[in-house]
Structure 1
């Protein structure tokens, strides 16, 4: 198995008393404007996602990494498929051993299910799973590229078809292997084919989007690095999954995730298809494993994931101005125990929790920004006790836990403590009629809502989590 992937990110969700986050690091927000963004439609925005296809039959099933291809007047979907897990748990990625197939007259449907396109074949160079298919056509032949690990390590394999129903694996075996090579996507650029895929710089190394070039789709050159994130395998979160590149009007747009949560995809723009950076941030799409398609008139973003039933579709908007920011990264503020406004935000560089405090309740002077906590998955949430003491609830960057810090009556603060986890987002906090704080936290993928209450008003003690709130 590969060292890390989205399929392993939420495995911890099955452990512990509370099943609650997955949240990745994000690119800088709108301050990081792509060079030349004022010329042409460089920014990307997306409308709401509609549920357009459910693969469930006798049992509830999900789709994940997928591909859409148009042929003979119909659209074809090929996708990871698996059985949905109980609420609050993540499916077993090792059980993803077939690729679903469906077709429709348009991306919005209606979709008709077909027999699975491929099932795992252990006799074929040790295949153990089938992940992340991508299909392109060349000379009347469709090529399907997919990730299939094995004892010999991560592999990118290929199969071909002339009718999109019967697929034949290449007799020569895997196209190449890598440290964590998976999620292939192929694009025609000039006279050659370019494959983008997610990778690590080495065991425990940085998360990357790599590329290889080919003239014939069969023989691929040495890898290059199109994008390298600051996150490493040691951070426990992969943020270069599902790479998808769109060429449009002289620009190349790289869609990658999960970023800003499991169901989040960032867009990076560049005029060089082999060099992307966070300085080219060009938008955010609130979906998992996002693919981009067009029929020549309308652009769409498709999405699918573990915690959804099937395929979702949203209109994609190419813009000359930044879209509204869809994220939980806005700063938060509240008066503290001395009545002074206190503002919390995330550092754009490493997502540390920052704080700035009013020097007095009746002044307009402020302290300098200071580090208040380690990197977080979202801006913290504040609760305020009846006596004015603040309580801060912070989401760990990998969703491993919620963290908690309490203000003392003298204005100082307790140490950070683990409050619960894993969770799918920053919690909601409110004070009820008897002055006890209550915390409501979302499980990974929104599978359930759990609740925890103070034992008594202003107490440092809390009741156990109630995972059955909703």
Structure 2
């Protein structure tokens, strides 16, 4: 059987012989008075570490940061950068880069790779998405591996962060596309979050399992299920959960494009949904760490050369800088200014129309459909009618809606794809609209 690559997994490919994912079992957080949840934003990302060598440029992808013994340690997927316009071969990701620094901003010192693929260890053929925690006097590295035997979550441990020993009993568990593990203490047990499918051809989900000893894990539940059944592009990658002030914040992506991470909040660490939308961070494979009272977001990805770090913001109001949520406006067929924006709660599309330009009077906000994967893009036909183009919530296909000559609107229709971000729309020399969008991963237009 051919090994399953991360590139295929991003399209929802399931490993043969894997077990189906079971239903969710929610555990409610302890009752009590807690402050309102915060909005999440981030400042500008700074390039802080380049893993390239004399042999050529290299990239980092899913990674982990941990502070131990006075230094920050980075462990990450690492690979050779692809030629411009192409995506790397994720099947060639067979080692974990290791570097350390006094602060998240560096300077970073490169160390020997922390772990290299071992085919004799239950069929390992790749190494993906390490996550490292410290517990019971040692360090625990959870990572995604597998190959012909199917997707697996594996474990290696260390006492010094430099020498790692794989768990003798083998993979902790297998799944359909199980990858991107992240472990957090929740109540009286450990919770592992990871990327999964609800079943062959099903929804992309963030699954969870619980453990008392970090080795034996429960049956899976569902922490978050994306509404789309389109399995072409995964949108529940790199789950990362932060506990703060009685709330849990789930970071996941890619959403709103390859370099986009949405944040959802919940009182229950085992159940999230889009009504808990709490913000967006413009980075891929985002991780979150705190150094005292200072919080950081880190990011990496196929099309970046290393690690990026930004200040993480806990806000009382929605971040104003987020370009994916900015409103758009244009004149409609009747010459009225029409504004479209996304609702903060569920990212449904809203519309407001200027009724009288002289008096500057406006209609109220009204629902226009959705939710949407990114802010809409507007085009204006040769006869003055507006067309609205939107990225589907799953970040895959485009949709559009056309204004009728009488000023009303036809319904939403599939426009095609897949696309990796909101499109650009313009009229050509002949008056026709042309729509251009990057593919998922940004490999082509």
Short-chain TM bin: 0.7 to 0.9
Q: Which residue of 2 aligns with 1:118?
A: 115
User: Are 1:77 and 2:70 an aligned pair?
Assistant: no
3-state SS of paired residue (1:149): strand
User: Are 1:54 and 2:55 an aligned pair?
Assistant: no
Q: Which residue of 2 aligns with 1:256?
A: 252
Residues 197, 211 of structure 1: 8 Å contact kept: yes
Q: Which residue of 2 aligns with 1:461?
A: none
Q: Give the alignment of 1:281-360 within 5 angstroms.
A: 281-324=277-320, 326-341=322-337
Instruction: State the distance in 2 between where 1:314 and 1:88 align.
Output: 26
Q: Which residue of 1 aligns with 2:19?
A: none
Q: Which residue of 1 aligns with 2:168?
A: 171
Q: Which residue of 1 aligns with 2:22?
A: none
Shift of the 73–109 alpha-carbon distance from structure 1 to 2, 3 Å rule, reads: same
3-state SS of paired residue (1:231): coil
User: Are 1:239 and 2:231 an aligned pair?
Assistant: no
Q: Which residue of 2 aligns with 1:459?
A: none
Residues 49, 106 of structure 2: 8 Å contact kept: yes
Q: Tell me by how many angstroms 1:101 deviates.
A: 0.9
3-state SS of paired residue (1:293): strand
Instruction: State the distance in 1 between where 2:416 and 2:197 align.
Output: 30
3-state SS of paired residue (1:328): helix
Shift of the 382–126 alpha-carbon distance from structure 1 to 2, 3 Å rule, reads: same
Q: Which residue of 2 aligns with 1:104?
A: 101
Residues 64, 80 of structure 1: 8 Å contact kept: yes
Q: Give the alignment of 1:334-413 within 5 angstroms.
A: 334-341=330-337, 377-384=373-380, 388-390=384-386, 392-395=388-391
Q: Tell me by how many angstroms 1:48 deviates.
A: 1.1
Q: Which residue of 2 aligns with 1:219?
A: 216
Shift of the 379–286 alpha-carbon distance from structure 1 to 2, 3 Å rule, reads: closer
Q: 2:139 aligns with which of 135, 142, 164?
A: 142
Between stretches 247-256 and 61-70, larger displacement belongs to 247-256
Q: Tell me by how many angstroms 1:388 deviates.
A: 3.2
Shift of the 378–71 alpha-carbon distance from structure 1 to 2, 3 Å rule, reads: closer
Q: Residue deviations 1:387-407, cap 9 Å, x none?
A: 535455444555656667777
Q: 2:38 aligns with which of 38, 42, 50?
A: 42
Instruction: State the distance in 1 between where 2:336 and 2:317 align.
Output: 37
Which structure exhibits the higher relative contact order, with contacts defined as CA atoms closer than 8 Å and separated by 6 or more residues? 1
Q: Tell me by how many angstroms 1:218 deviates.
A: 1.6
Residues 38, 320 of structure 1: 8 Å contact kept: no
Instruction: State the distance in 2 between where 1:49 and 1:371 align.
Output: 34
3-state SS of paired residue (2:227): strand
Q: Residue deviations 1:394-437, cap 9 Å, x none?
A: 44555656667777888799999998865443233456899786
Residues 391, 397 of structure 2: 8 Å contact kept: yes
3-state SS of paired residue (1:425): coil
Residues 338, 361 of structure 1: 8 Å contact kept: no
Instruction: State the distance in 2 between where 1:347 and 1:249 align.
Output: 25
User: Are 1:277 and 2:273 an aligned pair?
Assistant: yes
Instruction: State the distance in 2 between where 1:390 and 1:126 align.
Output: 55
Q: Which residue of 1 aligns with 2:180?
A: 183
Between stretches 92-101 and 406-415, larger displacement belongs to 406-415
Q: Which residue of 1 aligns with 2:149?
A: 152
Instruction: State the distance in 1 between where 2:258 and 2:182 align.
Output: 20
Q: Tell me by how many angstroms 1:330 deviates.
A: 4.4
Q: Tell me by how many angstroms 1:148 deviates.
A: 0.6
3-state SS of paired residue (2:374): coil
Instruction: State the distance in 1 between where 2:331 and 2:143 align.
Output: 53
Instruction: State the distance in 2 between where 1:121 and 1:376 align.
Output: 42
Residues 299, 317 of structure 1: 8 Å contact kept: yes
Aligned length: 424
Shift of the 355–108 alpha-carbon distance from structure 1 to 2, 3 Å rule, reads: closer
Q: Note the residue ranges of structure 2 that are not aligned, 5 or more in a row.
A: 13-30
Give the alignment's TM-score, normalised by structure 1: 0.76
Instruction: State the distance in 2 between where 1:410 and 1:55 align.
Output: 58
Q: Tell me by how many angstroms 1:49 deviates.
A: 0.9
RMSD: 4.0
Q: Tell me by how many angstroms 1:443 deviates.
A: 5.6
Q: Tell me by how many angstroms 1:268 deviates.
A: 2.0
Instruction: State the distance in 2 between where 1:383 and 1:47 align.
Output: 31
Q: Residue deviations 1:232-273, cap 9 Å, x none?
A: 3x3423222211111223222221222222212222222332
Residues 396, 440 of structure 2: 8 Å contact kept: no
Residues 4, 238 of structure 1: 8 Å contact kept: no
Q: Which residue of 2 aligns with 1:457?
A: none
